[in-house]
A = this chain, B = another copy of it.
Amino acid sequence: MKFVLEKTDGQTKARAGMLNTQHGLVRTPVFMPVGTQGTVKTVSPQDLTDAGVQMILGNTYHLYLRPGDGLIREAGGLHQFMNWFLPILTDSGGFQVFSLAELRKIDDGGVRFQSHLDGSYHLFTPESVVDIERNIGADIMMVLDECVSYPCPENDAEESVRRTLLWAQRSKNRFQETLPSARLQQSLFGIGQGSTYSDLRRRCAERLVEMDFSGYAVGGLAVGEPKSLMAEITDQSTEVFPQEKPRYLMGVGKPEDIVDSISLGVDMFDCVIPTRNARNGTVYTRRGKLVIKNQSFQRDFQPIEESCSCYTCRRFTRAYLRHLFQAGEILGLRLTTIHNIHFYMRLVEDARSAILANRFSLWKKDFFNVYYANHS
């Protein structure tokens, strides 16, 4: 994988770039919809490409448990298995082990946990996770890290940084000793931790850079800390990370957080928000969110958003979508998901165009003015 930095904004740290992978080019900033179990929930690969998706995320924890990375390897890798031939990034499973699994027990060797599906016992080590991600065959693999919750005592955060760095080095070693299952190139990204402690975050990021990964992620954010802290840490992290490598803010986020983080020099994002909200009937527009189930949309024969060119907006009205949700029809979940994904794609594409055209700050101001217009 090769990253080309095309442009850095003059007034902010916003960047436009290009990730060159064996499954094609990815223009950054990029938002990756989350395909937890080998599908982005409710939509097909065709729906994703139609909505402008360039790259998706797969969850190593879920795929390892079901259908199993061995089966995915037999299928020819996750791209083949799910019929998605654009780039894929897999997380390390660390976050899921710490949020979903039961009875986890962590030491320097790795983390033992019980499957949330059937209670079976498993062990993730930095090495085993690299092996699993090799089997899955994603274009970008993430190292196993230790995620702490917020708030976190400084001692615990320090200990987690120590372990995260230890694991990062072991991941890197394993990565260098192994080859992809298919004849594909895979890249490995490091993940910075350190909770909300600036010194820890900086030290962790610096050590990761010394290890020389293909890209760098900010992990452990968007877990309940104030927005200002999230911005501060993101800002500090991108100061440490090298210009010529892609930066990825994991698990973020809301449209406003993405726009803010782009201006702090982040290139890559993933989050379940657009897809999960869609399934709850919450849809995004330039002027904020709508709850499509509301009575007020019963006889509203406009599309979700007049200016939107997604399949849903080109074909269906708010009244029809509301009816589908009221009637419990699955098509409703897909149509709102298509719209929300398209909204996110347009958001990062617009940010990119603005960066390339030297008008990012103006665009950002306009975005917030319109997005919050109905909130005041």
B83 touches A46 (CB 8 A): no
Assembled-state Cα–Cα distance A81/B316 (Å)? 7
Any chain B CB within 8 A of the CB of A121?
Answer: no
> Which residue of chain B has the shortest Cβ distance to A327 in the bound complex?
B37
> Which residues of chain B come closer than 8 Å to A46, judged between CB atoms?
311
Q: A38-B320, A45-B315, A320-B38 are in contact. Are A327 and B75 (CB under 8 A)?
A: no
Query: Which residues of the other chain, B, contact A327 by a CB distance below 8 angstroms?
Result: 37-38, 66-67
A331 CB within 8 Å of chain B: yes
Give every chain B residue within 8 A of A42 (Cβ-Cβ).
Answer: 330-331
A-B contact pairs, 18 of them (CB 8 A): A37-B323, A37-B329, A38-B320, A38-B323, A39-B329, A39-B331, A42-B330, A43-B331, A44-B311, A44-B331, A67-B319, A67-B326, A74-B299, A75-B301, A82-B320, A83-B315, A83-B320, A334-B334
How many positions in chain A have a CB within 8 Å of any CB in the partner chain? Answer: 37
In Å, the complex CA distance between A333 and B39 comes to: 13
Smallest distance from the beta carbon of A354 to chain B beta carbons, Å? 32
B319 adjacent to A71 (CB under 8 Å): yes
Complex CA–CA separation, A44 to B331 (angstroms): 7
Does A334 contact B323, Cβ atoms closer than 8 Å?
no
**Is A324 part of the contact surface with B, judged by Cβ < 8 Å?**
yes
The one of B41, B71, B331 that contacts A299, using a Cβ cutoff of 8 Å: B71
CA distance A299 to B75 in the complex (A): 8
B residues within 8 A CB of A316?
83
Residues on B with C-beta less than 8 A from A185 are: none
A317 beta carbon closer than 8 Å to chain B:
yes
Complex alpha-carbon distance, A326 and B39, angstroms: 13
**Copies of this chain per assembly:** 2
**Complexed CA–CA distance, A37 and B326 (Å):** 10
Q: Report A34-92 residues with CB < 8 Å from chain B CB.
A: 37-39, 41-46, 66-67, 71, 74-76, 81-83
Chain B residues with CB under 8 Å of A81's CB are 317, 319-320, 323
A114 contacts partner chain B, Cβ-Cβ < 8 Å = no
Complex-state Cα separation, A323 to B65, whole angstroms: 11
> Is A298 engaged at the interface, CB distance under 8 Å to the other chain?
yes
B71 near A324 (CB under 8 angstroms)? Answer: no
Q: Which of B41, B66, B317, B330 contacts A75 (CB 8 A)?
A: B317
The residues of B that contact A74 with a CB separation of less than 8 Å are 299, 301
The answer to whether A66 and B323 touch (CB under 8 A), given A41-B330, A46-B311, is: yes
Shortest Cβ distance from residue A195 to the other chain B in the assembled complex, whole angstroms = 33
How long is the Cα–Cα vector from A22 to B52 in the complex, in angstroms?
35
- A334–B299 alpha-carbon span in the complex (Å): 28
- Contact in complex: B323, A330 (CB < 8 Å): no
Which residues from 256 to 306 on chain A have a C-beta closer than 8 Å to any C-beta of chain B? 298-299, 301
If A44-B334, A301-B74 touch, whether A39 touches B317 (CB-CB below 8 Å) is no
Cα-based distance from A319 to B37 in the complex (angstroms): 13
Q: In the complex, are the beta carbons of B301 and A39 less than 8 A apart? A: no
- For the complex, give the distance between the alpha carbons of A326 and B155 in Å: 42
Least CB distance, A341 to chain B, in whole angstroms: 14
The complex places the Cα of A67 from the Cα of B74 at a distance, in Å, of: 47
Most chain B beta carbons < 10 A, residue from A76, A324, A329, A331: A331
